Amino acid sequence: MPKFYARRRLSILAALTGLIATVGLLNGPAASAALPTPVSAATARTYLASLTVATEDRTGYDRDLFNHWITISGTCNTRETVLKRDGTNVVTSSACAATSGSWYSVYDGATWTAASDLDIDHLVPLAEAWDSGADSWTAAQRQAFANDLVRPQLIAVTDNVNQSKSDQDPAEWMPSITSYACTYVRAWVQVKYYYDLSVDSAEKTKLTSVLNGC
């Protein structure tokens, strides 16, 4: 069973460092609110050092075991909530579907004006979570993970980029916008730490390398 750690209180300096990094990275066209600001690189390095290193095991994985895009508020589900959060001037129908707006994808630098061109990426993919310990979770815990709007786990990005990423970890896939690398791995480590998920050796090596350059 994962240990859902309480959020650690960051120092003022660490919080400002994370904020400054995020402002610098999210300055593309039409950028607005995006995923919650991850912990600082220093905190991420501390978190990473405490994660269990283990071989991944996908035995029994089924995406349907992670109930995702649940109702968040009114008629809005998780996908629609993230689209509104991550877009600019988003207009929605009575059913909460985004009918217009602008979205900047931090993974590849593309800007879109149709919600159909966006996927909501699980930054730590569902299959990766399963491989790393979620196979022992309850259905409720998997649902919470798949719809987590509090941790930096969900983000609207170009659909085919998300599909290219698939279930790969940072040792296998990183955003093509290299300036986003630090934010991406800080978020990855924070999510894994919060949910007490393991990392494999190649994954840890890549995370360590990127964080050391942040």
Instruction: Look over the chain and give the mean of its residue pLDDT values, rounded to a whole number.
Output: 88
Cβ atoms of 90 and 100 within 8 Å: the answer is yes
Over residues 165-192, the mean pLDDT reads 98
Specify the pTM.
Answer: 0.85
Is the torsion defined by CA of 132, 135, 141, 143 positive or negative?
Answer: positive
Average pLDDT over residues 87-108: 97
Burial grade of 29 (CB within 10 A; 0-12, 13-18, 19 or more): exposed
Supply 213's token pair. 């350059």
- Is residue 137 over pLDDT 50? yes
The single residue listed with the structure tokens 């300096």 is 13
Q: What are phi and psi of 207, to 5 degrees?
A: -60, -40
Least confident of 20-34, 170-184, 197-211: 20-34
pLDDT of residue 21: 35
CB 45 within 8 A of CB 14: no
pLDDT score for 34: 81
Q: What is the separation of C-alpha 206 from the centre of its chain, rounded to a whole number of angstroms?
A: 17
Q: Indicate the SS3 state at residue 156.
A: strand
Q: Give residue 13's pLDDT.
A: 33
Tokens representing 158 are 């170009």
pLDDT tens for each residue of 14-54 = 333 333 333 333 334 444 458 899 999 999 999 999 999 99
pLDDT at 20: 33
